[in-house]
């Protein structure tokens, strides 16, 4: 099985099938790096697919073919960021990956077909001479993807690299990188690409349930049950039956790589694996954390460029028990094991490869303090001078948030991925 990274970077794959980003079109035979995008008017395309209207309810993956001298890269749109544009005669691979999934209306167990853009009214694609609209390609269910264990160390010696993505015709396409510690069922960080030109309109799909994904990350217990039984766990740790009565005590399955950063429904579904989630207090996940995600997407839109996003955790949150002793919080506890730690800090690094600018954000995943201690600030706050200031960031109950230089955060969190940051990536308040 060969690997292809599902990001708009140089990709090497001799077969040449590439997952189509939401702004896919011809790159005219040359490799195109992140942030360096040719553009063309989608009206010149023979087949144009509107991501917000034209796809089937259970949409498939759409892959495009482009290879020049065995070097393959994304076909990038020169037009509307919500369009997939294809030239007449261009081949497109339509796929329904995942176990027990297949294309509807084709022979049994057909998981993929090659369609050709035909430029005919109401029948834009042909498969073996038979005409189809793009909506005629529908899966039995929306592809969700899978977890691929890479057997490579990451973060520190106890962590291993995994990827979330899709297998199509025995070729692996990576969407999200995950650095996970199986011994504690803890993901240290994830990495993904936020494609700036695909965030103006986001397809809203029904949210799937989180899955473990068969990675062996939650051996001997259920991650789903651990989250469902969080109130019971909190009562046991704190010794207080009244604790769960507060709205602040609810804990979410908080995304690291958020579904909202991906424009295509199967990509969004691929974010719903437990290795891409950490325990976040609901008021924080739905407060300053989601507000930060929205601000980052807005920056990507304004810059019309791709941003590298790394999102992770640091340290374990604690709460006092009935005797005043601090107890670390884990969602699963047994006589000899503590699994799925509740992080004390959430962090996010945003890096623009084109300008070599970056910024780090830290959120205190604790809604209970009355005031912020010096230990709660891992690095000097530069929100004001960097254009990322927001009055909401000061609200502890919504997740106290501050901004840092990437190098300053890395002094405390050594496993922050390395980026070639030369200066601060400014926001626009």
Residues recognised as catalytic? 255
The C-alpha angle with vertex 356 and arms to 354 and 358, in degrees rounded to 5, equals 120
Q: What is the 3-state secondary structure (H, E, C) of the chain?
A: CEEEECCCCCECCCCCEEECCCCCCCCCCCCCCCCCCCCCCHHHCCEEEECCCCCCCCCCEEEEECCECCEECCCCCCCCCCEEEECCCCEEEEECCCCCCCECCCCCCCCEEEEEECCCCCCCEEECCEEECHHHCCECCCCCCEEEEEEEEECEEEEEEEEEEEEECCEEEEEEEEEEEHHHCEEEEEEEEEEHHHCCCCCCCCCCCCECCCCCCCCCCCHHHHHHCHHHHHHHHHCCCCHHHCHHHCEEEEECCCHHHCCCHHHHHCCCEHHHEEEEEHHHHHHHHHHHHHHHHHHHHHHCCEEEEEEEEEEECEEECCCCCEEECEEEECCCCEEEECEEEEEEEEEECCCCEEEEEEEECCCCCCCCCHHHCCCCCCHHHHCCCCHHHHCHHHCCEEEECHHHHHHHCCCCCCCCCCEECCCCC
Q: Is 285 annotated as a binding residue?
A: yes
Residue 108 CB-density burial (10 A; 0-12 exposed, 13-18 middle, 19+ buried): exposed
390 Cβ contact partners less than 8 Å away, ≥ 6 residues apart: 291, 295, 383, 401, 429
Contact criterion met (CB below 8 Å) for 342 and 237: no
First to last CA, the chain: 45
Residue 327 β-bridge partners: 319
Annotated binding-site ranges for Mg(2+): 285
Annotated binding-site ranges: 285
């Amino acid at each position: 099985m060969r690997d292809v990274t599902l990001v708009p970077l140089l990709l090497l794959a001799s077969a040449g099938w590439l997952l189509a980003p939401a702004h896919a079109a011809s790159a005219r035979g040359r490799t195109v790096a992140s942030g360096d995008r040719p553009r063309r008017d989608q009206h010149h395309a023979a087949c144009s697919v509107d991501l917000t209207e034209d796809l089937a309810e259970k949409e498939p993956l759409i892959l495009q073919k482009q290879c020049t001298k065995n070097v393959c890269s994304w076909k990038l749109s020169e037009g509307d960021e919500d369009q997939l544009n294809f030239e007449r005669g261009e081949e497109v691979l339509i796929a329904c990956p995942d176990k027990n999934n297949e294309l509807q209306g084709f022979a049994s167990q057909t998981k993929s077909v090659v369609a050709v853009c035909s430029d005919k009214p109401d029948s834009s694609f042909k498969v073996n001479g038979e005409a189809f609209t793009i909506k005629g390609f529908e899966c039995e269910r929306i592809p969700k993807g899978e977890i691929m264990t890479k057997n490579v160390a990451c973060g520190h010696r106890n962590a291993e690299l995994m990827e979330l993505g899709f297998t199509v015709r025995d070729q692996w396409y990576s969407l999200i990188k995950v650095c996970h510690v199986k011994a504690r069922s803890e993901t240290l960080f994830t990495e993904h690409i936020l494609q700036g030109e695909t965030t103006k309109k986001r397809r809203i799909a029904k949210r799937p349930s989180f899955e473990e994904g068969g990675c062996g990350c939650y051996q001997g217990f259920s991650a789903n049950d651990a989250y469902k039984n969080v109130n019971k766990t909190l009562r046991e740790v704190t010794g207080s039956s009244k604790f769960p009565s507060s709205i602040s005590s609810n804990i979410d399955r908080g995304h690291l790589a958020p579904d909202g950063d991906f424009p295509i429904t199967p990509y969004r579904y691929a974010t719903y694996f437990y290795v891409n989630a950490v325990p976040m207090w609901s008021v924080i996940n739905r407060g300053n954390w989601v507000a930060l995600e929205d601000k980052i997407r807005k920056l990507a839109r304004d810059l019309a460029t791709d941003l590298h996003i790394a999102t992770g955790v640091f340290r374990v949150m604690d709460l006092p028990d009935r005797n005043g002793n601090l107890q670390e919080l884990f969602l699963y506890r047994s006589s000899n094991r503590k699994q799925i730690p509740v992080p004390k800090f959430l962090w996010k690094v945003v890096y623009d490869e084109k300008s070599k600018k970056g910024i780090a954000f830290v959120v205190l995943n604790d809604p209970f303090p009355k005031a912020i201690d010096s230990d709660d600030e891992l690095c000097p706050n530069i929100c004001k001078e960097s254009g990322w200031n927001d009055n909401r960031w000061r609200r502890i109950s919504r997740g106290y948030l501050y901004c840092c230089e990437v190098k300053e955060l890395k002094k405390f969190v050594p496993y922050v991925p390395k980026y070639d940051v030369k200066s601060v990536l400014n926001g626009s308040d």
